[in-house]
Amino acid sequence: MLAAPDDAAAWLARAHPDRAHAARWMRSAGLVLLPLGVRWSAVKAPEHEGLAAAADIGGPVIHDPGGRCVYFLVPVVVDPAWACPRTEFLGAACWLTVPAPSTTEPPGIHWVRPPDARSLVNPTALREALTARTAEAVS
């Protein structure tokens, strides 16, 4: 069950050191820059493989059509030796542009699946889905 957009926005804003600042940006601009490695981290994947993998797994997923990539929100600590072809683990010292939970369609950065304020993407399931898609893309 998806959380109400206000609940999901509050959940996202809690990742920022200044929650009020994050909430203002989300309301006014529809986007906010949030630090990773605080409440969650992210895995960046190429657009085609990422969108295909997103169909097979649960949890919050962001599509950045301009950057031609997909971001999966994962737990803060994932296997430190994250190894999945053509992907990048983004944790502490990284920041991510995050759309408001109500932004679920293009143009621009948007949620493929908005956060529900409770669950993140399972990194093991993500690795399996992306590895399968990457193998298909290479062959």
Question: In the prediction, which pLDDT does 1 show?
Answer: 41
CB 63 within 8 A of CB 107: no
Q: Where are the domains of the chain?
A: 5-138
List of residues 6+ apart from 50 with CB closer than 8 A: 61, 63, 69, 70, 71, 72, 130, 133
Residues forming beta bridges with residue 76, ordered by sequence position: none
Structure confidence at residue 80 as a pLDDT band (50, 70, 90): low
Question: In the prediction, which pLDDT does 77 show?
Answer: 77
Q: What is the pTM of this model?
A: 0.91
Residue 76 in this model has a pLDDT that exceeds 60: yes
More confident residue, 79 or 101: 101
Cβ neighbours, 10 Å, residue 40: 22
Least confident span in 27-41, 73-87, 95-109, 120-134: 73-87
Mean pLDDT of 3-28: 88
CB-neighbour burial class of residue 50 (10 A; exposed 0-12, middle 13-18, buried 19+): buried
More confident residue, 85 or 78: 85
Residues 74 and 39: their CA atoms lie apart, in Å, by 9
Output the six-digit token pair for 5.
Answer: 């957009």
